[in-house]
Structure formats: structure tokens, C-alpha cells
Amino acid sequence: MIWRALFGAVSKLLFSVVMLVSSWFGGRKSAQADAKIEGLEDYVETRQRMDEVGRMSDADAAREWLRERGKR
């Protein structure tokens, strides 16, 4: 009878520990996925800004643009 109660208490404790550890690992995995998504969203925004600028076909115009940009 005592063994049954002891076994029940230990099994409840073990189950609680397993649930706590699994939720901790699940939270870490979720946080990593969120960070990866945020990084990819930042990349998309940066890429869109880069694509909006366009290209300069004239090398002299590009140098002038760089000079003006350096003065700011």
C-alpha cells in the first residue's frame, strides 16, 4: 500500500518535470523560429529598398552621387 502511494507520487512528479522540460524546449524552438522569420522579413525590406534605388548607367553620375552622399 505504501509502495503504491510512493509510486503514484513519484510518477506525478516525474510527469510534471517532463511536461515542464518539454514546454521549455517548445518555447525555445518557437522563439528561434520567430527570430528567423523576423530576420527574413528584415532581409525582404532591405532588398526592396535596394531594388527601388535602381542602377546608374553613367560612371560619372555614380561618382557624383557618392560625393554628395558623403557630404551629408
For residue 53, what pLDDT is reported? 80
Gap between the Cα atoms of 31 and 53, Å rounded: 34
Structure confidence at residue 41 (pLDDT)? 96
| Rounded Cα–Cα distance for residues 54 and 58 (Å) | 12
CB 65 within 8 A of CB 56: yes
One digit per residue, the tens of pLDDT, for the chain of length 72 reads 888 888 888 899 999 999 998 898 888 999 999 999 999 999 999 999 988 887 778 889 888 988 998 887
Model pLDDT, residue 40? 96
